[in-house]
Amino acid sequence: MRTTERPRSIARQGRAPRGGYRLVLSYRVGQQLREAPPVLHGHLTGITAILRVDPTAASTMLHIQPHGDGWTATYGDGRGFLQYRVIQPQRLVVVVDWVWIG
């Protein structure tokens, strides 16, 4: 990988880890990720790793709340927000919005 390229591992639609969830990004979040600085790639990589295990359980890194027909994860001392939907029968997490303030 050249130094100017962005990592693409988050956006791939891979198989879910055993007992975990598969995760996909909306087109909009994929665009945001392509334009984000590397430090935000690290944030999103860590958060999506947590969501792949259990997208409805809070952790020390994430505060998770139900929001409408989906969920909102808050992280980074309240500066980051990730909205997503969980489709249970397929064990799929769809990230629909990502906001970083700061």
Specify the DSSP class assigned to residue 31.
Answer: H
pLDDT at 9 over 50: no
Summarize the confidence of residues 47-59 as an average pLDDT: 91
Please indicate, yes or no, whether the overall pTM of this predicted structure exceeds 0.85.
no
What was the pLDDT predicted at 2?
Answer: 38
Q: Is residue 62 part of a domain?
A: yes
Q: Is residue 16 part of a domain?
A: no
Q: Is residue 78 part of a domain?
A: yes
Q: Is residue 49 part of a domain?
A: yes
Over the stretch 81-95, which tens digit does the pLDDT of each residue have?
999 999 998 999 999
**Segments forming the whole domain that contains residue 94:** 22-100
Q: Is residue 14 part of a domain?
A: no
What was the pLDDT predicted at 53?
Answer: 93
Q: What are phi and psi of 28, to 5 degrees?
A: -60, -45
Summarize the confidence of residues 2-16 as an average pLDDT: 44
- Name the residue with higher pLDDT: 11 or 52: 52
Total structural domains in the chain? Answer: 1
Q: What is the mean pLDDT of the chain?
A: 83
Domain holding 44: CATH number?
3.30.2310.20
Q: Is residue 17 part of a domain?
A: no
What was the pLDDT predicted at 61?
Answer: 84
Q: Is residue 5 part of a domain?
A: no
Over the stretch 20-42, which tens digit does the pLDDT of each residue have?
999 999 999 999 999 999 988 88
Q: What are phi and psi of 82, to 5 degrees?
A: -130, 120
* Strand pairing category for 63-67 and 22-25: unpaired
Q: Is residue 11 part of a domain?
A: no
